[in-house]
Amino acid sequence: MRLLVLVTGEYGWRHVKNVRQHGPQDWQVETWQTPRVLPPVVDYPEDYLPEVLPAADLILSLAEVKGVAELVPDIAKMTGARAVIAPIDNVTWLPVGLARQLCGWLARMDVACVTPKPFCSLTETHYNALRHRKTYDDPLIREFARHFGRPAFRVTVNEATRQIEDMEVTRDACCGCGRYVAEKLVGTSADDAIEQGGLHHHHYPCQASMGIDPQYGDTLMHISGNLMKDAIKEVVAPYRRVRYIRPGGYVDGADAAEEASE
């Protein structure tokens, strides 16, 4: 697969480095450095685009400038791309309304588009979290999401000590956070893995926005952290001890019956 990544700054370069290092060897990953300043409305996209861009199958837009979204349809025409992933890790960079417009523009060109919010909610069938989940069906995006998107793991736990001996990443967050968390959790008790995984996610650090998102009523960083903890919970659940807290003075049915017989 030929992948063109639109990058503005450190946020994007972190993703590019991880995809190049851990993506399939037959992927061709090219980048284009976006303008850092664009007008409120881009009337003539050609004024801000290079004369030539490399051919691509999939465009990954990691721009940190709102107006870049208005350039994406022209970039798709120039490169021949048939699919676009434009994640929303910060609504300042890609507001929801503009993301909706982008999908509409591309649909008229018969180009598939998804806008996962946050990026690490992307799977092979859907994206977004909670009640805002959306489904899609595109082979190029699905191929990308096999490797990068919502973190997924396989775990090996010592049955005697109940410590994690190995944690394999079956799908990494595109930024590399899943791999980082998996490495940190080796040696951790299965009982503590979920909480510790959330802390490691925060310390990576996650680059999703810390502002309250109006759709979720929460920060995208927190949503991302919950997705990470859910992924860890899925694999360590069989190894965790269930702990019950019994309030002082509580009498259950069996105890009450025994007291009555006495």
pLDDT of residue 185: 98
pLDDT tens track for 37-60: 888 888 888 899 999 999 999 999
Q: Tokens in use for 30?
A: 């090219």
DSSP letter for 163, please.
B
Inter-CA distances, 136 with 140, 145, 210, 244, Å: 11, 11, 27, 41
C-alpha triplet 159, 164, 167: angle, nearest 5°: 125
pTM: 0.90
Structural contact between residues 144 and 114, judged by C-beta atoms closer than 8 angstroms: no
The region that residue 54 occupies, defined by phi over 0 for left and psi between -120 and 50 for alpha, beta otherwise, is beta
**In the predicted model, what is the mean pLDDT of residues 173-199?**
98
Q: Residue 250 pLDDT > 80, yes or no?
A: no
CA 179, CA 72: separation in Å to the nearest integer? 30
Question: What SS3 class is residue 28?
Answer: strand
Domain ranges, ordered by start, for the chain: 2-147, 152-239
pLDDT tens track for 67-104: 999 999 999 999 999 999 999 999 999 999 999 999 99
Q: Which CATH number fits domain 2-147: 1.20.1050, 1.10.10, 3.10.450, 3.40.50?
A: 3.40.50
Question: Does residue 205 have a cis bond before it (omega within 30 degrees)?
Answer: yes
pLDDT of residue 84: 98
CATH topology assigned to domain 152-239:
Sufe protein. Chain: A (3.90.1010)
Name the pLDDT band for 210 (thresholds 50, 70, 90).
very high
**In the predicted model, what is the mean pLDDT of residues 191-204?**
97
pLDDT tens track for 123-179: 999 999 989 999 999 999 999 999 999 999 999 999 999 999 999 999 999 999 999
Inter-CA distances, 156 with 164, 182, 187, 189, Å: 6, 11, 11, 12
